[in-house]
């Protein structure tokens, strides 16, 4: 299937809002405009084959070379003007380059002669006219000598339709950027709201059901983070996912939630509704990603086509020149995922953030050393006994200074509230360990086995 068709079909099938479809890359329009560009080039003898030949012979210093690039307009950072500059070899005012066909030579001679006559010099800033430009030596051309009157002249070829082509493209990319920004804002607000709602519904002070839901949310979010749906922070596959990968990962996450019967674990109506909103949010993010992807492909394709039809070789420069903070930068998924983890997932505290760095169990009782690092009281006691003085994390000389005032009571209360199960287990483990220290290594919780 041709890309134009494929593009149209995918825009229709994905259920995008009409507003999105209306602002998609106008691929057909650009193709029509490209036709005008090729016709314009053909008319002046610079068809794609001629230009391809010139590109191939660029290394030969005696040959004509040209330079095509996009020049930003100082006044308007969102627009740029393409410029086609030729370095023409003239001998007594005649173009001598062997590769060129007679009509091309005639054309170049014509615009070169225009730039040579001071009386004919076009006014500055007139893009419709060829104008003289200084070559690297600073003079428009080498002064002719008696024997050899060979000179190199730099002339700009005035084109109209390539400017139109890039204007259409840049305008559309800017519109798409604006649309993505709008969607990102909307979704961002929804993330904030959902975070607040989950927080309200699951505050442990609201009773046993809220505590139970908090536990379930923690499991859900743990799975969600494991799925790394839109963005991976793992070294092996770091970076943004393609929409196809994201679909897979999202499916895995939903399957896991179902198979672990986590939705049944949500006892509060508010929580169940919030889970629905959470899924919708992910579906929308996926749609944004897909839309971004297909438009990105359209831009790449049309630029490639431009080069294929003209041999002007713009595809290397184009992605750098075009101004796009969202569409081409592909930052939307990354930004939204960052926001999700800051404002949504962090609402439900994860155990990982509260582990003692020595025993990897919840740091209870928490002792905050002068260096601000937190350890469980058991590990600290053991370090003291061994006569260790330095914090294992930052090597500060703080351990011997730790006293009762270093118990972090606020954090202890927080841990009891948010991780009641883990805290209970840790207290039991601490007791067991202490008892073993007192009664010897054979000590067991169950007194029966001793008797």
Measured from the CB atom, is 101 or 435 closer to Zn ion? Answer: 435
Cβ burial, residue 340 (10 Å; 0-12/13-18/19+):
buried
Measured from the CB atom, is 268 or 359 closer to Zn ion? Answer: 359
From 214-222, 230-238, 245-253, 358-366, give the range in contact with Zn ion by CB under 5 A: 358-366
Task: Determine if 381 is a binding residue for Zn ion (CB under 5 A).
Answer: no
Q: Do 294 and 20 form a contact (C-beta atoms < 8 A)? A: no
Measured from the CB atom, is 117 or 352 closer to Zn ion? Answer: 352
Residue 361 in 3-state DSSP?
coil
- DSSP lists the bridge partners of residue 68 as 84
Q: Least distance (Å) from Zn ion to the CB of residue 371?
A: 3
Residue 229 in 3-state DSSP?
coil
Q: b/e for 389-427, b at 16 or more Cβ within 10 A? A: eebeeeeeebbeebeeebeeeebbeebeebbeebbeebe
From 194-202, 212-220, 255-263, 372-380, give the range in contact with Zn ion by CB under 5 A: 372-380
Alpha-helical runs (H) found in 228-331 = 243-259, 269-310, 318-321
Residue listed under structure tokens 């929804």: 190
Q: Least distance (Å) from Zn ion to the CB of residue 324?
A: 44
Q: Least distance (Å) from Zn ion to the CB of residue 372?
A: 7
Q: Least distance (Å) from Zn ion to the CB of residue 383?
A: 10
Q: Least distance (Å) from Zn ion to the CB of residue 284?
A: 42
Task: Determine if 356 is a binding residue for Zn ion (CB under 5 A).
Answer: yes
Site string for Zn ion, 385-414 (x = CB under 5 A): ------x-xx-x------------------
From 96-104, 348-356, 401-409, 435-443, give the range in contact with Zn ion by CB under 5 A: 348-356
> Using CA of residue 191, residue 194, residue 196, residue 199, what is the dihedral sign?
negative
From 8-16, 174-182, 256-264, 376-384, give the range in contact with Zn ion by CB under 5 A: 376-384
Q: Least distance (Å) from Zn ion to the CB of residue 386?
A: 14
Task: Determine if 63 is a binding residue for Zn ion (CB under 5 A).
Answer: no
Measured from the CB atom, is 121 or 396 closer to Zn ion? Answer: 396
* Euclidean distance between CA atoms 284 and 278, whole angstroms: 10
Q: b/e for 124-143, b at 16 or more Cβ within 10 A? A: eeeeebbbbeeeeeeebbee
Reply yes or no: is the peptide bond before residue 365 cis, omega within 30 of 0: yes
Site string for Zn ion, 247-266 (x = CB under 5 A): --------------------
> Among residues 262, 351, 355, 359, which is the contact residue for Zn ion, using CB under 5 A?
359
Task: Determine if 373 is a binding residue for Zn ion (CB under 5 A).
Answer: yes
* Residue numbers 258-317 binding Zn ion by CB under 5 A: none
Residue among 277, 279, 282 at smallest CA distance from 243? 282
Measured from the CB atom, is 122 or 357 closer to Zn ion? Answer: 357
Q: Least distance (Å) from Zn ion to the CB of residue 362?
A: 9
Task: Determine if 358 is a binding residue for Zn ion (CB under 5 A).
Answer: yes
* Euclidean distance between CA atoms 39 and 162, whole angstroms: 11
Measured from the CB atom, is 44 or 356 closer to Zn ion? Answer: 356
* Euclidean distance between CA atoms 232 and 227, whole angstroms: 9
Task: Determine if 379 is a binding residue for Zn ion (CB under 5 A).
Answer: yes
* Euclidean distance between CA atoms 232 and 333, whole angstroms: 11
User: Which residues are near Zn ion by CB under 5 A?
Assistant: 356, 358-359, 371, 373, 376, 379, 391, 393-394, 396
């Amino acid at each position: 299937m041709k890309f134009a068709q494929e593009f149209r079909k995918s825009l229709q099938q994905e259920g995008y809002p009409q507003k999105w479809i209306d602002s998609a890359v106008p691929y057909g329009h650009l193709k029509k405009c490209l036709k005008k560009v090729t016709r314009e080039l053909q008319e002046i003898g610079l068809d794609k084959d001629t230009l391809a030949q010139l590109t191939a012979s660029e290394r030969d210093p005696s040959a004509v070379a040209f330079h095509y690039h996009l020049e930003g307009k100082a006044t308007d950072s969102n627009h740029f003007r393409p410029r086609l500059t030729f370095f023409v070899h003239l001998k007594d005012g005649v173009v001598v380059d062997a590769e060129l066909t007679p009509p091309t030579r005639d054309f170049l001679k014509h615009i070169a002669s225009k730039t040579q006559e001071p009386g004919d010099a076009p006014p500055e800033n007139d893009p419709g006219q060829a104008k003289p430009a200084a070559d690297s030596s600073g003079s428009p051309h080498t002064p002719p000598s008696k024997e050899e009157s060979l000179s190199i002249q730099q002339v700009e070829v005035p084109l109209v339709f390539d400017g139109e082509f890039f204007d259409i493209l840049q305008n559309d990319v800017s519109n798409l950027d604006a649309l993505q920004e709008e969607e990102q804002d909307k979704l961002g607000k929804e993330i904030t709201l959902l975070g607040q709602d989950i927080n309200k519904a699951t505050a442990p002070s609201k009773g046993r059901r809220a505590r139970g839901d908090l536990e379930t949310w923690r499991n859900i979010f743990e799975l969600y983070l494991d799925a790394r749906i839109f963005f991976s922070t793992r070294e092996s596959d770091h970076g943004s996912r393609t929409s196809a990968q994201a679909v897979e990962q999202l499916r895995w996450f939903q399957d896991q939630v179902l198979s672990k019967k986590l939705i049944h674990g949500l006892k509060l109506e508010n929580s169940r509704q919030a889970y629905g909103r959470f899924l919708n949010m992910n579906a929308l993010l996926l749609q944004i990603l897909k839309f971004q992807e297909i438009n990105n492909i359209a831009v790449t394709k049309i630029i490639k086509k431009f080069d294929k039809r003209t041999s002007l070789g713009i595809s290397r420069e184009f992605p750098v020149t075009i101004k796009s903070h969202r569409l081409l930068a592909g930052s939307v998924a990354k930004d939204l995922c960052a926001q999700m983890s800051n404002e949504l997932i962090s609402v439900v505290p994860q155990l990982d953030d509260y582990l003692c760095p020595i025993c990897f169990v919840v740091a209870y009782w928490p002792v905050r050393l002068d260096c601000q690092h937190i350890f469980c009281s058991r590990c600290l006691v053991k370090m003291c006994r061994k006569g260790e003085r330095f914090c294992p994390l930052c090597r500060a000389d703080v351990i011997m200074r730790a006293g009762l005032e270093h118990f972090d009571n606020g954090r202890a209360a927080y841990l009891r509230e948010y991780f009641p199960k883990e805290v209970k287990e840790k207290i039991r483990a601490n007791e067991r360990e202490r008892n073993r220290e007192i009664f010897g290594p054979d000590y067991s919780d169950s007194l029966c086995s001793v008797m």
